[in-house]
Amino acid sequence: MGMHWVWKPGVGTQERAGRNLSDIYTSTGYKQKRIAVLGSTGSIGVSTLDVVDALPDRLKVAGLCAHKNVELLLEQTLKYKPEFIVVTDGESAGKIRQDQLPKGTQLLHGADAVVKMVQSPGVDVVVSAIVGAAGLEGTWAALEAGKEVALANKETLVVAGPLVMELAKAKKTKLLPVDSEHSAIFQAMQGSARSAVKKVVLTGSGGPFRGKKAHELDHVTPVQALKHPTWQMGPKITIDSATLMNKALEVIEARWLFSLEADQIGVIVHPESVVHSFVEFADGSVLAQASPPDMRLPIQYALTYPERHAGPTRKLDWMSLRSWNFEQPDMETFPALGLGLEVARQGGTCGAVLNAANEEAVSRFLKEEIAFLDIAKACRAALDHHEFSPRPTLDELYQCDRWARQEIDRWTRKKTITLQKR
């Protein structure tokens, strides 16, 4: 499109404008943000690259990181020519060679490759979009280096919310939400004092089993649970949406991200997934953010905040709009949601235990080793059996994570949680 990159050294005005001599400006005069995408081969990762394609004068890919999907990573690397790429899965890393890469792209190896990439001076913003507790390391390293983080990986805050928020504060850096509900809350809060916020209400589609009762969910298969009515997402979060564990994790995420008390957070089912959450203020006013279900909007807002620009996201079709529905969640059929509220109240080690138990149970459900209803049961059992500590260190949280995974493994093998009859 005929755009070229230029250095704009300026004459003495840089410091006043808050500019840095090493910042890159495009010919249109915008400062380009150089982003590293952790989990670039996933659903959020691919949507992030769509946003980059739509805003080439503002965003530039500086780093990409995948786990196993080397083929897609290579394709992305040839297109974006980042400074660094990382393959985190040891076996898959061997499938990519330096001589396949563009000149100027470096393949980073080893246990600390992700840390090296996010901490490189060539990276301004890190998009944290790895799935599960595995996303904590990169997020933590980015914050430690004072990098801005666009956070999709909610598990980071579920596992270590207070420590992560403390680190971001100490490093005076921004942790911007990508999760659509949290982006909605963040957008609705702009311009208001935090002390004026009375309550936030997260919306959720209700998942594929909305309206069903527990006895109807006894024998659901992974294929049924993977059919989400409104969102296209990776398999783990799709199962979380079917159990409502996703909403549970989001309650915990909101608790730490916005420093709310657990009883300030509510959940309401909204099958259309257009209103992405509500914020109620002290004067009784309620603000919401609405847009079609498309993650590219919250991703873009996190990457361009506080600005808004025309982007790739679908727009609301006002001519076909008829009604938006709301209903109360069914806490009996979906006990995972109650676990989330409980863990948000208790804090401490509970988040790490709930998250790890859930990750393990979901992966076993996907392999048809346990039944759908066992997922929440396994999480309940792990929470009940764990040794609670109110102010754990990061190391202690990692220990809790390992313990919960081992316990779920042991329970599954001993068949002490009901196995699916097939």
Cα–Cα distance between 418 and 372 in angstroms, integer? 10
Which of Mg ion, ligand NDP, none binds 225 (CB below 5-8 Å, type-dependent)? none
Quick one: which of 23, 171, 199, 231 contacts ligand NDP (CB under 6 A)? 231
Q: Is position 355 an interface residue for ligand NDP (rule: CB under 6 A)? A: no
- Written as six digits, the tokens of 362 are 């979901």
Q: Is position 237 an interface residue for ligand NDP (rule: CB under 6 A)? A: yes
- DSSP assignment of 368-379 equals TSS-TTHHHHHH
Quick one: which of 179, 253, 280, 401 contacts Mg ion (CB under 5 A)? 179
Quick one: which of 32, 41, 77, 355 contacts ligand NDP (CB under 6 A)? 41
Q: Which long-range contacts (CB under 8 A, 24 or more apart) does 186-190 make?
A: 186/258, 186/301, 187/289, 187/301, 188/277, 188/278, 188/279, 188/287, 188/288, 188/289, 189/258, 189/279, 190/306
Cα–Cα distance between 26 and 11 in angstroms, integer? 17
Q: Is position 129 an interface residue for ligand NDP (rule: CB under 6 A)? A: yes
Compare residues 353 and 362 and give the one whose CB is closer to ligand NDP. Answer: 362
Cα–Cα distance between 180 and 294 in angstroms, integer? 9
Give the shortest CB-179-to-Mg ion separation in angstroms.
4
> Angle CA(373)–CA(152)–CA(358) in degrees, nearest 5?
20
Stretch that binds ligand NDP, among 11-19, 232-240, 255-263, 333-341 (CB under 6 A): 232-240
Which of Mg ion, ligand NDP, none binds 69 (CB below 5-8 Å, type-dependent)? ligand NDP
Q: Is position 39 an interface residue for ligand NDP (rule: CB under 6 A)? A: yes
Compare residues 76 and 277 and give the one whose CB is closer to Mg ion. Answer: 277
Cα–Cα distance between 139 and 117 in angstroms, integer? 12
Size of the site for ligand NDP (CB under 6 A): 29
Residue 218 belongs to what H/E stretch? none
Helix, strand, coil in percent for the chain, rounding step 5: 45, 15, 40
Quick one: which of 113, 117, 130, 248 contacts ligand NDP (CB under 6 A)? 130
Cα–Cα distance between 88 and 82 in angstroms, integer? 17
Which of ligand NDP, Mg ion, none binds 272 (CB below 5-8 Å, type-dependent)? none
Stretch that binds Mg ion, among 12-20, 119-127, 181-189, 336-344 (CB under 5 A): 181-189
Q: Is position 362 an interface residue for ligand NDP (rule: CB under 6 A)? A: no
Give the shortest CB-296-to-Mg ion separation in angstroms.
14
Q: Is residue 82 reached through a cis peptide bond, with omega within 30 degrees of 0 on the bond before it?
A: no
Positions that interact with ligand NDP (CB under 6 A): 39-45, 66-69, 88, 129-131, 134-135, 152-155, 179, 231, 233-237, 295
